[in-house]
Structure 1
């Protein structure tokens, strides 16, 4: 595919850990279906590989069509911007929230868990993990609350995602966790963790780590989940925060 313009330089001379938010900004500057030439030229570190570059593009809501490595450790890619929600991640994350996949409302507003009736933000605010409603960047920079999803593809319902997508997405997110090393990881929605890790898992602290970090599993915050009250979700998030404090 042919990009709509010459390559966009992203992160030239910057640490690789700056790339997720810079690529998220690039995602927001384009429309779904745009084919974008992207040149990644950060200050390379020992973990800077073609695989990581591809992971970052996917995490930012792009589907890489071609990704090429140059001798200078520069990566050049042609990627399609999809209807998705880019990761909100950076170094020094206290708690990384991992959702299932974006809803149309979340993708179109660039705010996770934004659909009417979703209780994530009321619960996060009540739990003290954020202080500004529906502001992922503020939550990241002020409170160390990062956000990603297992699957980048937008659907109206989580049950439209198949197990293969969850497994592939979990591999990417586990590499992200191993790289950025948040204090703890909180999976929102039992289905994703049960699909890729433990079919019998119940909500709470999990026996195994993910990317070397402790894991808390909690029910989905969607209003369609009638089994969990807002007070229950608040307590789950408080427990996830306590796990992060111990991590």
Structure 2
């Protein structure tokens, strides 16, 4: 893709890949220019999201960014803390992160995924004003949705290899498989004591 095509994608909004009742809603920091130009999340070739999703067992094969809608059939989805595209996450202001956290909270309250997985602990810390948060499950919840902070899959995150990221993503996958879904009015056990 030509540099001018990427630059033309700055500030674009990329639609979420979501539906209600997901097992895990993955939440990126914000779309990069390649994502905005293609309309496919985590589209930059050096981004390790798609390989790590497969290595961790979330997907039966490595999906291409253009196959992102297949995630919905697996009970997975993608959104972002901040909707607008930029070349780098450091172009976002703390105010944008906090406003993004507010919007994300409302989205999670509406969609009710079992887990919100924020891929980037720094983004999670800023958006939710949790400066001491670490990678892993968080004590904060949004309604019945639990939160897990995951390592950022960007190729710039050299502290984590694809293998070590896959281990952490795999921990979330195991938790998501063992976390019972919240009963709903359509569930015959709803409103009844166990």
Please report the TM-score for the alignment, with normalisation by the length of structure 2.
0.81
Q: Runs of 4+ in structure 1 displaced over 6 angstroms?
A: none
Per-residue deviation, 1:89: 0.5
Equivalents in 1 of 2:39, 2:132: separation in Å?
33
The equivalent residue for 1:173 is: 104
> Do the aligned partners of 1:175 and 1:211 also contact (CA within 8 Å) in 2?
no
Equivalents in 1 of 2:142, 2:97: separation in Å?
14
Aligned to 2:144, the other structure's residue is in SS state: coil
Per-residue deviation, 1:211: 4.2
Structure 1 vs Structure 2 CA RMSD: 1.8
Quick check: 1:239 aligned with 2:171? Answer: yes
Per-residue deviation, 1:106: 0.6
- Which runs of structure 2 are paired with 1:28-107 in the superposition (5 Å)? 83-107=12-36
Equivalents in 1 of 2:127, 2:156: separation in Å?
23
- Which runs of structure 2 are paired with 1:18-37 in the superposition (5 Å)? none
Aligned to 1:214, the other structure's residue is in SS state: strand
Quick check: 1:138 aligned with 2:67? Answer: no
Taking a change above 3 Å as real, the CA distance of residues 167 and 211 of structure 1, as seen in their structure-2 partners, is: farther
Quick check: 1:214 aligned with 2:143? Answer: no
Q: 1:199 aligns with which of 120, 131, 137?
A: 131
Equivalents in 2 of 1:232, 1:211: separation in Å?
30
Aligned to 2:145, the other structure's residue is in SS state: coil
Equivalents in 2 of 1:219, 1:209: separation in Å?
19
Taking a change above 3 Å as real, the CA distance of residues 181 and 235 of structure 1, as seen in their structure-2 partners, is: same
Equivalents in 1 of 2:15, 2:175: separation in Å?
25
Per-residue deviation, 1:92: 2.8
Which is bigger in relative contact order (C-alpha 8 A, separation at least 6)? 2
> Do the aligned partners of 1:98 and 1:185 also contact (CA within 8 Å) in 2?
yes
Bigger Rg over Cα: 1
> Do the aligned partners of 1:216 and 1:243 also contact (CA within 8 Å) in 2?
no
The equivalent residue for 1:189 is: 120
Q: 2:47 aligns with which of 111, 118, 131?
A: 118
Quick check: 1:153 aligned with 2:84? Answer: yes
